[in-house]
Copies of this chain bind each other. A is one copy, B any other.
């Protein structure tokens, strides 16, 4: 489950709540494309902007629509109490695995983060992916902490932030982390622009924003890299360079939400976040048209 392509769909939400039919359509497309797993309620799925009830409902809808593809659900929250409740909810809703980021309001210490994961693992019967996303959590894992957490029961994967785009540097980074963690714990890349490089440099999987909206294209990159054709995978990834440039300026969520909105797949954003306007939107329109 924690290898290959994990596709992260948006959760379409507005002031009234989740657009369930839009969400189901997104999930159904991923199931039809036969991605390796569906990662709901990641950063792309706006998990931190939803209530506990909405998150349980979204997980249930995903499991129903996934047609047997494993569903991994984000259970991140600021308090350990809430993470434990969300872990129980995710399991009840049928998630095959969970994703946990050390979300912070007060800056966290390493001991606090370790305690947070330990408490979550104690509650779980399904495997957990450690979600390392310093850009949103404002917590930076040391490799030593990764190694400690990876020894906890239930921990099965680490979703790592972008590796360097230089292949050798990427290999070095991945090899260093892999040497510190148990063999059964996989490493998956996040940050779409680095995915082809990372898959070619030893990552087991790709936790993919692109894959949530363009599953066939993301699968093509993944399968090509898995077959050992690193250069071809890179070429397939380079097609999306106009998107990667926008990611770097505006963040992947706003960009992919704007693409989905322009394609008519998602009707409204969740405030305070807004989809892109002006010149950025025009660039995205041009890209969507070019994609046909």
Contact = CB atoms under 8 A, between A and B. Distances in A.
Contacts of A265: none
A272 B105 contact: no
Contacts of A108: 272-273
Interface in A59-79: 78-79
Chain A interface residue count: which class? 35 or more
Interface string A146-166: 000000000000000000000
Interface string A186-215: 000000000000000000000000000000
Given A105-B103, A105-B136, A81 B271 contact: yes
A127 to B, nearest CB: 21
A106 B251 contact: yes
A49 B79 contact: yes
Interface in A241-280: 251, 253-254, 270-274
A90 B253 CA distance: 32
B272 A113 contact: yes
B251 A107 contact: yes
Contacts of A271: 79-81, 112, 115-116, 119
Question: Interface SS of chain A: helix, strand, loop or mixed?
Answer: loop
A15 interface: yes
Contacts of A51: 82
A14 B212 CA distance: 38
Q: Which of A48, A102, A119, A253 has the most CB of B within 10 A?
A: A48
Contacts of A173: none
A109 to B, nearest CB: 8
A111 interface: yes
A138 interface: yes
A135 B106 CA distance: 8
A81 B46 CA distance: 13
B273 A106 contact: yes
B253 A106 contact: yes
Given A79-B272, A81-B270, 19 more contacts: A15-B80, A49-B81, A50-B79, A80-B271, A81-B271, A102-B272, A105-B136, A106-B136, A106-B251, A107-B135, A107-B136, A108-B272, A112-B271, A112-B272, A112-B274, A115-B271, A115-B272, A116-B271, A119-B271
15 contacts: A49-B79, A51-B82, A80-B271, A81-B270, A106-B254, A107-B251, A108-B272, A108-B273, A109-B274, A112-B273, A112-B274, A113-B272, A115-B271, A115-B274, A116-B272
